[in-house]
Amino acid sequence: MAVTIHDIASYLDLAPSTISKALNDYPHISTATRVRVFEAARELGYYPSASARNLRRRRTERIGFLYGFITVDVGEYASRLINGAVNAAEKAGYNVLLYPLTGNQPEKLTRICNTGEVEGLLLMGGEHLARSINLLQKERIPFIVLNRQLDEPDVSFVSADYHKVTYEAIHHLIELGHNRIAYVGQNVLEKLNSDRVYSFRQVLREVGLSVDESLVTSAGPEPGAGYEVMHKLLDLADPPTAVLTIHDPLAIECLHAVVDAGLSVPEDVAIIGSDNLRESQSTKPPLTTIHPPLAEIGRRAMEGLLRQLSDESVPPTRLILPAKLVIRQSTVAGGESR
Amino acid sequence: MAVTIHDIASYLDLAPSTISKALNDYPHISTATRVRVFEAARELGYYPSASARNLRRRRTERIGFLYGFITVDVGEYASRLINGAVNAAEKAGYNVLLYPLTGNQPEKLTRICNTGEVEGLLLMGGEHLARSINLLQKERIPFIVLNRQLDEPDVSFVSADYHKVTYEAIHHLIELGHNRIAYVGQNVLEKLNSDRVYSFRQVLREVGLSVDESLVTSAGPEPGAGYEVMHKLLDLADPPTAVLTIHDPLAIECLHAVVDAGLSVPEDVAIIGSDNLRESQSTKPPLTTIHPPLAEIGRRAMEGLLRQLSDESVPPTRLILPAKLVIRQSTVAGGESR
DNA sequence: ATAGGTGCGGAAATCGATTTCCGAATTAAC
DNA sequence: GTTAATTCGGAAATCGATTTCCGCACCTAT
């Protein structure tokens, strides 16, 4: 049986409350007894019961990480976000709980919010996102959405400046002479990825290009969907000469589709991915890609959430961090090739 | 303030204990009142306090996931293991807590074990592993080591049959005419990766090759270390014609080193990686690699751990799952090229 | 009619800490 | 020398559930 505060109390012939105060650096305890208590605690191997202190303090020092991708392999993407978040939590003495959210399970989410098992939530994309946000707004629990920019003014998020980097990407393509630029998004994320498509359309107009809706496409979540979409794009009467995709794995599928069609990248079709995953470096040719600071997004989101927890009056965290365009050979031939 | 069992009790004019029993399907409660209680609970929006029930039940239904990689980016590797584990936990109503273990912090580990915040632990590799196992054996807490095979008979682990697949890999290389085969391991994991090097040496002997110790190497954890090691191997008087590495990213560094030396893969040097990461498909040439069923390792480990928790008398989980050799063009030219 | 079940629900202890309130003892103040 | 202030530590309530033990009411058997 574990050593409790009572054991220390009877060992030292003191009251349990005294032990608690001594260990928690409360006032009204003399230095002498404080030292005695600490020594006894170490000697007896005392560790406070997490459940007991959670109950009494009404705080668990735990944050839930909600994610909901189903088919897509988002290992590296997710782990960069999570790493940033976990490290920030660690510094503040908080732990992170993983909550996979597959399918539609509102009861589960409601339960998580109301049992007090976590103090706040971080939300990573997935088809659940829109629904989850709606639900969470009704609950008391603080939460922050990762890597999405939201319009509702009260919802917290930490994202990257996709609008600006989309501008850079399109500008980059235009400088290379492209004017038929396609967009390949992803269905699962659709509702809340509208910010990305929106930027795409907006930027095209800004630079004076018209938006050809037949070039604004969306792949399903199943593997190979990007390949299909690209295939169809190439079959158009007037196919695109450049493609902007929302995720590197999707870009890679597009790359394969182009190559399999007997065309070459970047000469016939230029391709830009997103997230700068490790694999984007080793494709043939290497991918030009948008690099959002995922780990920092995770970190800043966690920091914002913890701030909101410690002080009710803190305004929502709405942060947009700079993203970079990493230029490789899927848009510009030559250069640093491997 | 949240709705408690007392609120339901006074609402229905019953005793709190009755509410608890009704909700938890205890006997000695009539169906009529049981129904009334469930309805009232739903009506009032009751959710049990996790902390309170954890305290009383002495169970948290949480498992800790300990990991300790520092510099290496192990996103995809880790997420495959974690996904398997989390999904299995989910099915049993358990949650997973993430514990990054950076550097040497035995106090932290001891605390995790003794505060009762988790019921058991899953351990993913890292330089902490050997130390952590030693420490955990002294604590009461059940734990299972992922993707390592251990000699001590009482330690639980779930791993892949690396010995067998190493045999297949070496056999594959020998069939291709190689007889100077190098090994590139990784320092950070050294102590407990001895099983892998051991298999390497063992298999070489089994097939009648002598072990040239100058070809058995180890890269540090810093990025670029694999590149350096490969470079040195190529500088040997009698350089290897094939390399077996312990992780795909390392294999990719070796690949770059070979190419940069003006040699070609697989003609001059054949390369075999491990883990079958996504990026191993898109290198030039694509990597032949060992594919361990990482998600299943995670799943089986979690299942084993939960079994041990529910029944003290269950023997240690010591599982070795089959691994496959995925043959691509880093060993055999031609074939399905991209 | 009485003893013995049985079914249903309540009272109270408990899990292990935190926290409030109180009191004794010592010191300071006048 | 009496009162006030201060310091230190204890008693008991509390967090919100679970669980043990008990007792009433009703039924059955003799």
pLDDT digits (tens, 9 = 90+) for B193-252: 678 888 999 999 998 999 999 999 998 878 889 999 999 999 999 999 999 999 999 999
**A29: Cβ under 7 Å from strand D?**
yes
Cβ separation A282–B278 shorter than 8 A: no
Which among A55, A83, A279 has CB closest to B278?
A279
Taken as a whole, chain B contains a residue count of: 338
Nucleotide nearest to B55 (CA to C1'): C15
Going by pLDDT thresholds of 50, 70 and 90, the confidence category of residue B305 is very high
CA distance A121 to chain B (A): 14
pLDDT of residue B223: 84
Tokens of A319: 């942060």
Nearest in space to A287 (alpha carbons), one of A245, A229, A248: A248
Q: Which residues of B touch A74 (CB under 8 A)?
A: 79
Q: Which residues of B touch A115 (CB under 8 A)?
A: 47-50
Q: Kindly provide the b/e burial profile for residues A92-129, where b requires at least 16 CB atoms within 10 angstroms of the residue's own CB.
A: eebbbbbbbbeeeeeeebbebbbbbbbbbbbbbbbbbb
Rounded CA-CA distance B124/B122 in Å is 7
Rounded CA-CA distance A171/A165 in Å is 9
Which among B54, B60, B97 has CB closest to A96?
B97
**B61: Cβ under 7 Å from strand D?**
no
**B17: Cβ under 7 Å from strand C?**
yes
pLDDT of residue B1: 75
Which among A52, A97, A281 has CB closest to B96?
A97
Cβ separation A80–B76 shorter than 8 A: no
Please name the amino acid found at residue B150. L
pLDDT of residue A192: 62
For B272-293, what is each residue's pLDDT tens digit?
999 999 999 988 899 999 999 9
Rounded CA-CA distance A219/A257 in Å is 13
Tokens of A189: 């994320």
Rounded CA-CA distance A200/A192 in Å is 14
Which among B78, B87, B249 has CB closest to A79?
B78
Tokens of A332: 């510009």
DSSP H or E run through B305: helix B294-310
Q: What is the side-by-side strand order in the sheet with B143-146?
A: A318-321, A156-160, A143-146, A120-126, A62-68, A95-100, B95-100, B62-68, B120-126, B143-146, B156-160, B318-321
**B58: Cβ under 7 Å from strand D?**
no
CB pairs under 8 A between A and B: 137
Rounded CA-CA distance B318/B153 in Å is 9
Instruction: Tell me the backbone φ, ψ of residue A125, rounded to 5 degrees.
Output: -50, 175
Rounded CA-CA distance A336/B286 in Å is 20
CA distance B169 to chain A (A): 23
DSSP H or E run through A96: strand A95-100
Tokens of A140: 């008391």
8 A C-beta contact, residue B173 and residue B331: yes
- Residue that the structure tokens 């574990």 belong to: A2
Mean pLDDT of B166-187: 93
Cβ separation B98–A82 shorter than 8 A: yes
pLDDT of residue A70: 56
Cβ separation B51–A73 shorter than 8 A: no
8 A C-beta contact, residue B97 and residue B118: yes
DSSP-derived letter for residue B115 is: T
SS3 call for B252: helix
pLDDT of residue A16: 94
Cβ separation B79–A80 shorter than 8 A: no
pLDDT of residue B338: 44
Per-residue pLDDT of chain A in tens (338 residues, 90 and over written 9) = 789 999 999 999 999 999 999 999 888 898 889 999 999 999 999 999 999 999 999 999 999 999 986 544 678 999 999 999 999 999 999 999 999 988 778 899 999 999 999 999 999 977 788 889 999 999 989 999 999 998 889 999 999 999 999 999 999 999 999 999 999 988 645 556 678 888 999 999 998 999 999 999 988 878 889 999 999 999 999 999 999 999 999 999 999 999 999 999 899 999 999 999 999 998 889 999 999 999 999 999 999 999 999 998 899 999 999 999 999 999 998 754 44
Least confident range of B82-86, B150-154, B331-335: B331-335
How far, in Å, is the CA of B27 from the C1' of nucleotide C21? 41
Nucleotide nearest to A7 (CA to C1'): C16
Cβ separation B279–A282 shorter than 8 A: yes
Nearest in space to B271 (alpha carbons), one of B187, B196, B161, B169: B169
Strand partners, B326: B289
8 A C-beta contact, residue A77 and residue A125: no
pLDDT of residue A191: 58
pLDDT of residue A317: 96
pLDDT of residue A28: 84
DSSP H or E run through A233: helix A225-235
Q: Which nucleotides of D are covered by protein (CB under 7 A)?
A: 7-20
Any idea what the Cα angle at residue A290 is, between residues A98 and A324, rounded to 5°?
105
